Amino acid sequence: MPREIMEYDVIIVGAGPAGLSTAIKLKQLDSNLNICILEKGAEVGSHILSGNVFETKALDELLPDWKKDGAPVKVKVNKERFLFLGKNKSLSWPTWLLPSVQKNHKNYIISLANLCRWLAEKAEKLGVEIFPGFPASEIIYAKDGSVKGVATLDMGLDKDGNKKEGYEQGMELHAKVTVFAEGCRGHLGKELIKKYNLDKGKDPQQYGIGFKEIWEVSDNQHEEGLVMHTVGWPLDNSTYGGSFIYHAENKQIYIGYVIGLDYKNPYLSPFDEFQRFKTHKKIKKMLEGSKRVAYGARALIEGGFQSLPKMYMPGALLVGCDAGTLNMPKIKGSHTAMKSGIIAAETIVENIKNKIDLSIYEVKFKKSWVYKELYEARNVKPSFSWGKMLGILFTGLDQIIFRGKLPFTLKHKHADHETLKSLDQIKKIEYPKPDGKISFDKTSSVYLTGTNHRENQPVHLQLKDSNLPISYTLEKYDEPAQRYCPVGVYEVQRDKNNLNPNFVINSQNCIHCKACDIKEPSQNITWVTPEGGGGPKYGNM
Amino acid sequence: MKILVAVKRVIDYNVQIRIKEDGSGINTDNVKMSTNPPDDNAIEEAVKLKESGKAKEIVAVTIGEEKAQETVRKALAVGADRGIHIKSENYIEPLGIAKILKKIVEKEKPDLVFLGKQAIDDDCNQTGQMLAALLGWPQGTFASKIEHKNKVIEVTREVDEGLETIEINLPAIITCDLRLNEPRFASLPNIMKAKKKPIEQLNVKDLSVDISNRIQQIKVEEPPKRKAGIKVASVSELVSKLKNEAKVI
């Protein structure tokens, strides 16, 4: 049976900061446009996870009255600390010596999920139709090769793809312009980048995996408005990463860890590094005796300027982290994502009204402050491929003295799936057992994410070669999927005699972080959308 | 035949419940809310009766804060014809809810009222029964199968001993078990159509019903953490532990 078709002026895939900003700006420019946003989460915000110290620049442009309108942007940063951690020591770095991009005194500590919920209300009031629980699973192309729209996933298929009771066929949504705002490593964005060669001549994209927990702490552990970052322990000198600790409202601490997915040791477990980090005496005292109330993880896009693909193609645009607009040294991507959405909206209105080609998106983007930001930030991340100390030294020089204006651009040399060394070249890492108070295991962590996928549906983590995990990846890398997955989706199970390994995918636990799609050394795992509403149910992440 | 279906907005069943620090209740800030799962079964059964030509109209009703409207909207998206939202900002006990529903029943004059067997937030399992008592109507509770036969309805009930089948006269109250059916998905076009279906809004104050609560909630606490289990080597060790340590046999 052919699918039902619905026509819109603009379809936006993903109700994150970029997609919602696109929608709001479109309606502000032309209230007659028919706009629809598809969101895979059960509600807006339920798949949003971010630090987040928020720079209001783009929000000021989009909704200048945000303060009066009650935006959940309330806790201004009032104190900053930057620590170098050793195993038992710590060195506090004076904040006046930080590059200006890392100064946060004008910024706010927010929950990005809550901001998105607020933006969604604004968008709906302007007449945007938002459909949570409906993932765009497929791109529809026109005969001329341009993007015509997207299709939503069929609901109610069993694990073999047969129709169950209550089966509901997906539908096609056609639009004049489709905007892809899926966030980092969007699975449709990935397809578009490949199909239209959008990354031609660009450096390989770089990613990180970010963890976040929310703790409810006692008064004496809480300093509302404090922003703290650390580098160093427990990571070794060659692994890129660091922590964030934000003291938010309601006596909550947002604590998290980001590790570059270009790490080399297949035994490295990003999750366990984060758990171990919290046991450092400087950190532990902020959490001791208090309660962890939320956990989550999400890949983030770090390639920046050198890896930014072309963001337009016939009939469609990429915005935000689906393209890769995050500013790594600033550790911020929300304001740049929002701005890219604003520019996309301006482009679309000119395209629909005056038939101006979508390529002006790039012209406008290059004239904007986002481009300048990304340009000045471009050399920081690649310099860390020389090791942490040289990276920090170079960054100081590049960002404080030259302010990003050095006359050369360092390259990202490898994609993240190419960086693992084989077992014979590395040392095994032993992690301490979690204590259940400060550090935890994956099982109790995934429980806090509220993650669920309906049982008996097609597996949404697809293997190109189902034998490869055991026949190759296990032997060469001890199947690192067991460790890079933040919720233990991937397991290698053996029989009683510790023989006959078997690769198991617990896809119902997947929190949609996309780390596997990025890091799998043979690119053997493909993340596709599961049935609508599946995945985590984050609150104020 | 006209069917009234009562639906309630509750914390989504996947969300881990968090208790407010001062013990005054459950934290619902930024928490994903959904339709109470057995209420989905109630709606589904009503829609099935309509599809088979036995019911003409389905009215979905909810009582709660402004956002409870979403629950009615969802019922409309899967097949209810119109909705009623009775606005109330405060928690109302099952007796109060039953009294309000009685008012709605008197106004709407349905032949059948479907409710979920209980709500997953307070687990009271009282509203349907109280409503039946207030109306003096027969009730079929914990329904896992129903069959409509002209003026009567046959209800298979999930009871402790197994299944019990009863026949009750219409009009009647039926509370639905999760096994009753498989609720359908709301399709995109139907969600869009549902946005245009009417929802009548009433204020609980205007119904002149005594909804004062009878129970005073003193404190909400988490249950004590379960201790880790141990492995025993033999049956005799198990028996001895049950006898001497646990003292249960």
A chain contacts of residue B187, beta-carbon cutoff 8 Å: 155, 168-169, 171
Q: What is the ipTM of this complex?
A: 0.84
Q: What is the pLDDT of residue A98?
A: 78
| Range from A465-469, B28-32, B37-41, B44-48 carrying the lowest mean pLDDT | B28-32
A34 to chain B, any CB pair closer than 8 A? The answer is: no
Q: What is the pTM of this model?
A: 0.92
Q: What is the pLDDT of residue A2?
A: 87
Of residues B229 and A493, more confidence is placed in A493
A437 to chain B, any CB pair closer than 8 A? The answer is: no
The shortest C-alpha distance from B89 to chain A (Å) reads: 20
Interchain pair A129, B15: CB under 8 A: no
Interchain pair B188, A6: CB under 8 A: yes
Residue whose entry in the numeric block shows the structure tokens 């195993």: A87
* A22-71 per-position pLDDT tens digit: 999 999 999 999 999 999 999 999 999 999 999 999 999 999 999 999 99
- Indicate the average pLDDT of chain A: 94
Q: What is the pLDDT of residue B94?
A: 96
Interchain pair A6, B29: CB under 8 A: no
The DSSP H or E segment spanning A112 is helix A112-125
Q: What percent of chain B has pLDDT over 70?
A: 100
Interchain pair B15, A537: CB under 8 A: yes
Q: Exposed e or buried b for every residue in A426-448, given b needs 16+ CB within 10 A?
A: beebebeebeeebbbebeebbeb
Interchain pair B31, A539: CB under 8 A: yes
B171 φ, ψ (degrees, to nearest 5):
-75, 155
Provide CB contacts within 8 A for B124, sequence distance 6+: B93, B94, B118
Interchain pair A6, B189: CB under 8 A: yes
Tokens of residue A214, six digits: 């929310």
Coil, helix or strand at residue A341? helix
Query: In the predicted model, what is the mean pLDDT of residues B134-157?
Result: 95
Query: In the predicted model, what is the mean pLDDT of residues A291-313?
Result: 96
The shortest C-alpha distance from B199 to chain A (Å) reads: 18
A chain contacts of residue B34, beta-carbon cutoff 8 Å: 42
Interchain pair A155, B188: CB under 8 A: no
Over 90: is that where the pLDDT of B65 sits?
yes
Q: Which residue of A has its CA nearest to B48?
A: A166
The shortest C-alpha distance from A419 to chain B (Å) reads: 37
Q: How many residues does chain B have?
A: 249
Where residue A539 falls among pLDDT bands split at 50, 70, 90?
very high
- Which of A132, A136, A161, A133 has the alpha carbon at shortest distance from A147? A136
Over 80: is that where the pLDDT of A447 sits?
yes
Q: What is the pLDDT of residue A321?
A: 97
The shortest C-alpha distance from B179 to chain A (Å) reads: 14
A445 to chain B, any CB pair closer than 8 A? The answer is: no
Q: Is the peptide bond before A234 cis (omega within 30 degrees of 0)?
A: yes
* A168-188 per-position pLDDT tens digit: 889 999 999 999 999 999 999
Other CB atoms within 10 A of residue A318 CB? 30
Q: What percent of chain A has pLDDT over 70?
A: 100
For A86-184, strand residue ranges (E) read: 90-93, 108-109, 129-132, 136-141, 147-152, 155-157, 163-168, 172-180
A chain contacts of residue B32, beta-carbon cutoff 8 Å: 42-43, 46, 450, 537, 539
Where residue B16 falls among pLDDT bands split at 50, 70, 90?
confident
Q: What is the pLDDT of residue A454?
A: 87
Where residue B245 falls among pLDDT bands split at 50, 70, 90?
confident
Q: Could you give the CA distance from residue A432 to residue A452 in angstroms, rounded to a whole number?
A: 29
The shortest C-alpha distance from B33 to chain A (Å) reads: 9
Q: How many residues does chain A have?
A: 541
**Could you tell me if residue B141 is left (phi over 0), alpha (psi between -120 and 50 degrees) or otherwise beta?**
beta
Coil, helix or strand at residue B10? strand
Over 80: is that where the pLDDT of A351 sits?
yes
How would DSSP label each residue in A442-490? Answer: HHHHHHHTT-B--SSS--SEEESSTTHIIIIIHHHHS-THHHHSTT--E
Q: Exposed e or buried b for every residue in A96-135, given b needs 16+ CB within 10 A?
A: eebbebbebeebbbbbbbbbbbbbbebbeebebbbbbbbb
Q: How many Cβ pairs within 8 Å bridge chains A and B?
A: 58
A452 to chain B, any CB pair closer than 8 A? The answer is: yes
Q: Which of A152, A164, A216 sits opposite B21 (nearest CB)?
A: A216
Interface of B to A at Cβ within 8 Å reads 12, 14-16, 18, 21, 29-32, 34, 182-185, 187-189, 191-192
- With contact defined as beta carbons under 8 Å apart, do A516 and A469 qualify? no
- With contact defined as beta carbons under 8 Å apart, do A345 and A296 qualify? no
Selected residues 285-304 of chain A with any CB under 8 Å from a CB in chain B: 293
- With contact defined as beta carbons under 8 Å apart, do A301 and A319 qualify? no
Where residue B225 falls among pLDDT bands split at 50, 70, 90?
confident
A chain contacts of residue B18, beta-carbon cutoff 8 Å: 293
Query: In the predicted model, what is the mean pLDDT of residues A293-300?
Result: 97
- With contact defined as beta carbons under 8 Å apart, do B60 and B3 qualify? no
Q: What is the pLDDT of residue A401?
A: 83
The CATH number of A5-67+113-202+309-377 is 3.50.50.60
B chain contacts of residue A114, beta-carbon cutoff 8 Å: 30
- Which of A334, A337, A325, A275 has the alpha carbon at shortest distance from A51? A334
Q: What percent of chain B has pLDDT over 90?
A: 81
Side-chain half-sphere exposure of A495, counting CA atoms within 13 A: 3
B chain contacts of residue A293, beta-carbon cutoff 8 Å: 18
- Which of B92, B125, B72 has the alpha carbon at shortest distance from B209? B92
Interchain pair B32, A537: CB under 8 A: yes
Over 80: is that where the pLDDT of A527 sits?
yes
- Domains parsed from chain B with CATH numbers: 2-244 (3.40.50.620)
Other CB atoms within 10 A of residue A249 CB? 15
3-state secondary structure A422-433: CHHHCCCCCCCC
Q: Which of B14, B30, B188 sits opposite A113 (nearest CB)?
A: B30
Over 80: is that where the pLDDT of A96 sits?
no
